[in-house]
Chains A and B, each alone.
Chain A
C-alpha cells in the first residue's frame, strides 16, 4: 500500500506557452553578474562566458496566487535562471514554493507591481527584487536568499527569519524582525532605509537589523526590542531610552560593529543607487547599538 500522497496531477510540464516567453539575455537587476563564469574579460558576451542565462518573462495579470506560483515552479523546473514577473497585483507567497529536493539552483526573480503578503515566506535561497511596495509578512520564516524592495514594507517584516538578507528602501511597518533568529554563521540581515514602527525586534533571538532613517533621522518606534534575547539592532541617529523595551540596552559601537555596518550599508546602497548617497555620508552619522540585557529574560520566572 502506498502510504504517501500521489504525485501532483498533470500540468507541471506543459506551462510557459502562454504566460512565459523567453526574451534575450538581459542585464541583471541584482547589481552583480550572473553566477558561473570565472575570470573572463569584462566585455565578454554570455556565449564567451560559457553559458547563456535562461531568462523568462511571466505575466501575472488575471492569475490567482496558486496559478502564478505554478508558473514560477514550472519555470524553475524547466531550467530558468531568471524570471521577470510583470503585472503582479497582490498575489501571495511569491518564491515560497521554489524548492525541489536535491536541486540547489537559485533563481533571480524580478517583480513588477505589488506582491501580496508572505512574499518569500519559507524561501530557500532565491533572490527577489520588487519594483514597488510590498505587503505584510515579507520573508516570513525565510531560510535563505535575498529580497530587495524598492519601496516600503508592511507589518511583521522578516518574522522568524532564519537566514538570508532583506533590503527595504523606504519604511517598514509594525513588529519588524519579530522573533528573528540565528545559528552560528547563519545570520539573517535586515536593512531598512527609512524607519520602522513599534515593536521592532520583538522577541528577537538573533540576526542583524539596521535601520538607517535616511529621510527622518529620528526613530518613531516605541517598545523596540521588547522581549529581545539575541541578535543586534543598529539604529542610525537618535533614539530615546523611553522608546526601548525593558529587555534591551544601548551599547557603544566597537570596531566589529563598524565593520558590520560598513559591509551591510554598502550592500544596501549598492542595491539602491537611486538614493544617491554615499556610504561615507551614511556612516558618518551617529549609530546606536541595541542588544539584549540577558540571553534569558524569563530565566527567573519559575519555581523549580
Chain B
C-alpha cells in the first residue's frame, strides 16, 4: 500500500561541504542516508528521518541540517498535522499508535507558573559557597515521635530502614531491555559515584551488576515479575512495587520480542525472542489490602532491612489512594505525573490519561498532612522534572525527592525524537542492537550524568541559600516560599500557594 504520510523532517545537505565520507549513513539506523557509488554522491530519504540529530552532530564537515519539513498541509487549527498523520498511519496499519518519551502536548506546566522566594533585609540569605548547606535526604518511614535514652542523647526509638541520598534526585525506573546495557550501567555508575540511587525498572538487574551497583539500586517488582529472585531483592537498597507509570497509567507493557536479546532474556529469565508482556494490573493486587499483602511479602523477603516503595501514576482521586498506600505499609510513594517518560506507550494513553505531577504532589502532601500520616512515608515526585528549579519547586510543594528519567537520558545524548519503541535508537540508549548500544560509553556517559547531578545540586543550594534556608528538609512542603502567576484560583487552591504579590 502506498503510504500517504508526508515526511516530518527535511534533510538538507550542503554539497559543497560534504566529502562523501558516508559517516551519516553509518550513524543512521533508520536508513535515512545512502550513497550512490557510480556517481560518488550521498542521498537521503526524508521519510525515514526521525529528527534525532545524530548525523548532524557527528558530521565531520558540518554539512547537514535536519529540520522540520517546510512542506505542510493547509494550516488547520482543528486538524493538526499530527492528527492527520496519525489517521493516515492507522488507516495504513490498523494498529495502535505507539510513541516514546513523555507527552509533548502543550498542557499547562505548573512549574513555569510558580516562582520562588528570596531573602531581602529581614532575613539574611546564605552563601552556599562559604556556608554549610544540607541537601542530604533520607527516604523511608519516619517515627511518629522520638524518645531518648536516659542520657538524653541516644535515640531509643526504633527507626525503620531508610535510604540516604546526597541530593534529592534519583534516576527514574528505566529497565534493561527498554534501554541498552551500557545506558543502564551508566545510570548505575553515576548513582553510585554521586551518592544517589538508580532504579532497575521491571526488567531485572543483570547478575554482573549486582555486587558492585546493587547498593545504589532501587529494584522494581512490577506486574510482569521479571528477573526476581531473593538475591535480586536483597542486593538492592530498596524495593519498589510498580503499580503505574505516568506515561501509561492503567496499562501494562509489551517489550517486543525484537528487544528480548540473549542477555535481556537471561536478566528477565524469559525465553529469548518472546514478547515480554507485563499485565496491566498486578494480579495479586486488586485492593489496598492486597497491596498491603505484597508490601509485607517484600518486607519479609528482604528481612525488614529495605524500605518498600510503591510507584503509582498520578490519576484522579489518587490522594485518597495514596493515603491507602501509606496505611498499607509503604515506606516510600513515588508518584509519576502526566508528563512522565516511557520507552513505548500508546500515544492516546500517554497524552490523555493522568494528571500533572505538580497538582498531584501538592494534593497528596496536603492529604497526608491532614490525616497526620505524612511522616509514615516519603514522597518522590516524577514525570517531567526538567531542571533544578523543578526539583526545588517539587520539594516546596511537598515532595521529599524527585525521580529524573528524561533529563538523565538527555544527559546521555537523547534528543527526544520519540522513536524509542522502534529499538533503533541512534544514540545507543533505547536499543538492544550491540552496534548501536556501543555508542554509549558507560565511563563517559556516567560522567555526564554525575556532572548533571552536581550542577543541579549546586543550583539547588544557591536557590535554597537565597531563601535563607540551609537544609533542604526545611523547604519540604514549605509552600510559603512559592507564589503562583497566571493561575486560576482553583489551581492556586490545589497547589496550596498564594498568588504572586499576595
Residue ranges of A at the interface with B (Cβ–Cβ < 8 Å): 1-9, 65-66, 69, 73, 92-93, 96-97, 99, 101, 117-118, 121-124, 136-137, 140-141, 143, 156, 159-160, 162, 175, 178-179, 181-184, 186, 202-203, 205-206, 227, 229-230, 295-304
Pairwise interchain contact B257-A122, C-beta atoms closer than 8 A:
no
Within 8 A of A (CB), among B75-121: 89-90, 92-98
Pairwise interchain contact A92-B283, C-beta atoms closer than 8 A:
no
CA–CA, A88 to B275, complex, Å? 41
Number of interface residues of B (CB under 8 A): 61
Which B residues lie within 8 Å of A160 (CB)?
224-225, 228
Which A residues lie within 8 Å of B296 (CB)?
65, 92-93
Give chain A nearest CB distance to B272 CB in angstroms: 9
Give chain B nearest CB distance to A54 CB in angstroms: 21
Does any Cβ of A come within 8 Å of B303's Cβ?
A: yes
With A5-B237, A302-B346 already in contact, 5 other A-B pairs whose C-beta atoms are closer than 8 Å: A3-B237, A122-B233, A141-B228, A203-B277, A227-B277
Q: A162-B228, A186-B269, A229-B277 are in contact. Are A5 and B297 (CB under 8 A)?
A: no
Q: Main secondary structure on chain B at its contact with chain A?
A: mixed
Which B residues lie within 8 Å of A206 (CB)?
270-271
Which of B256, B266, B297 has a CB less than 8 Å from the CB of A93?
B297
CA–CA, A162 to B226, complex, Å? 9
Which A residues lie within 8 Å of B228 (CB)?
122, 141, 143, 160, 162
Which B residues lie within 8 Å of A96 (CB)?
297, 300-301
Which B residues lie within 8 Å of A186 (CB)?
269
Within 8 A of A (CB), among B121-177: 136, 140, 158, 161-164
Which of A93, A227, A299 has a CB less than 8 Å from the CB of B257?
A299
Pairwise interchain contact B96-A303, C-beta atoms closer than 8 A:
yes
A122, closest chain B residue (CB): B301
Q: A3-B215, A99-B234, A143-B228 are in contact. Are A229 and B301 (CB under 8 A)?
A: no
Which A residues lie within 8 Å of B284 (CB)?
136-137, 140, 156, 159
Q: Main secondary structure on chain A at its contact with chain B?
A: loop
**Please, could you name 25 A-B residue pairs with CB atoms under 8 Å apart, sorted by A?**
A5-B162, A5-B163, A5-B307, A8-B304, A65-B300, A92-B293, A96-B300, A97-B303, A99-B230, A99-B234, A124-B229, A137-B284, A143-B228, A159-B225, A160-B224, A175-B283, A178-B283, A179-B225, A181-B225, A183-B269, A202-B283, A297-B275, A299-B275, A302-B95, A302-B421
Pairwise interchain contact A162-B229, C-beta atoms closer than 8 A:
yes
CA–CA, A1 to B165, complex, Å? 11
Give chain A nearest CB distance to B242 CB in angstroms: 14
Does any Cβ of A come within 8 Å of B261's Cβ?
A: no
Which B residues lie within 8 Å of A9 (CB)?
158
Q: A8-B305, A230-B274, A303-B98 are in contact. Are A118 and B297 (CB under 8 A)?
A: yes
Pairwise interchain contact B306-A99, C-beta atoms closer than 8 A:
no
Which of B231, B268, B275 has a CB less than 8 Å from the CB of A296?
B275
Pairwise interchain contact B303-A302, C-beta atoms closer than 8 A:
no
CA–CA, A229 to B257, complex, Å? 12
